[in-house]
Amino acid sequence: MASLAWLLIPLVAAIGAGIWGSWAARDRTQGDISELAGYARFREAMDKADKADKVEQGRAKAGVHSGSDAV
Question: Is 48 within a domain?
Answer: yes
Full residue range of the structural domain in which residue 42 is found: 33-62
Alpha-carbon distance of 16 to 59, in angstroms, equals 64
Residue 39 counted as domain residue: yes
Quick one: which H or E segment has residue 37?
helix 32-62
pTM passes above 0.85: no
Q: Which DSSP letter does residue 63 get?
A: T
Q: Structurally, how many domains does the chain consist of?
A: 1
Residue 3 is assigned to a structural domain of this protein? no
Asked if residue 17 belongs to a domain, the reply is: no
Model confidence pLDDT, tens digit, residues 16-50: 999 999 999 987 766 677 788 889 999 999 998 88
Residue 34 near residue 40 (C-beta atoms within 8 A): no
Distance between CA atoms of residues 60 and 71, nearest Å: 15
